[in-house]
Amino acid sequence: MTRLHHLALTAADLAASVAFYDPFLAELGYQRSGGLESPLIYLGDGPEILVYRTEGDGAGRSRHQHGAPGLQHLAFEVDDPSAVDAAFRAAVAACGTVVYAPRTYPEYADGYCATFIEDLDGSRFEVVNIPKS
C-alpha cells in the first residue's frame, strides 16, 4: 500500500506562519508538535504537515504565484459545510488571503461546498465538503 506521508511547505517568516497555521490547521484537526524551530510539524488524522523556513536563494524570492509551475493547491475534505465555514473564518482571522469565500460548486459535484484561501506566502488551500450519496 502506498499513501501520502507528509506535505512540506516553505515559509518566509516562520513566526508569522505559526500565527496562520496554528488556528487554521486546528480547525482541520491538526496540532503543532514541538517548538517554533524549522520545520514546524503539524500532526492530525491525515498526512503530517511540515513548514520549513526559507533558506539560501529561496529567502529572497517572491511568494508563490498561482498558475506558476509547482504545487497548485492542497485540499482538505471535511465532514460538513459548517467545517468549511469554520476553517474559512480561522484563516481570515489569521490574515490568510481569501481567494473564494465558501460557496457551492455544482459544476464539480452535487452539493460540493468549498472555500479557497492562501497562506502568507501564497500557498493555496481548499477546504471542501462533498456530501456522500
Question: Is the pLDDT assigned to residue 110 strictly greater than 70?
Answer: yes
Nearest of 29, 3, 120 to residue 83 by alpha carbon = 29
How confident is the model over 9-58, as pLDDT tens digits? 999 889 999 999 999 999 999 999 988 888 999 999 999 999 999 887 65
- The boundaries of the domain holding residue 45 are 6-55+72-129
Does the pLDDT of residue 81 top 90, yes or no? yes
pLDDT at position 82: 96
Contact 30, 49 (CB under 8 A): yes
Closest to 102 measured CA to CA, from 73, 75, 129, 71: 129
Least trusted range by pLDDT, from 47-56, 75-84, 101-110 = 47-56
Phi, psi at 8, each rounded to 5° = -120, 130
Contact assessment for residue 14 and residue 36, using Cβ atoms and an 8 Å cutoff: yes
Q: Is 120 part of any domain?
A: yes
Alpha-carbon span 78 to 29, nearest angstrom = 10
- In a domain? residue 60: no
CATH of the domain at 38: 3.10.180.10
Q: If 0-12 CB within 10 Å is exposed, 13-18 middle and 19+ buried, where does residue 45 land?
A: exposed
Q: Is residue 84 part of a domain?
A: yes
Question: Out of 56-60, 61-65, 95-99, which region has the weakest mean confidence (pLDDT)?
Answer: 56-60
Q: What is the mean pLDDT of the chain?
A: 91
Any domain includes 32? yes
Kindly state whether residue 24 falls inside one of the protein's structural domains.
Answer: yes
How many domains would you assign to the chain? 1
Instruction: Find, among 43, 46, 41, 48, the residue nearest to 14 by Cα.
Output: 41
For cell 481548499, what's the residue? 126
Is 118 within a domain? yes
Q: So what's the pLDDT on residue 58?
A: 59
Tell me whether residue 64 is in a domain: no
Distance, in Å, from the CA atom of 85 to the CA atom of 72, rounded to the nearest integer, reads 22
- Is 61 within a domain? no
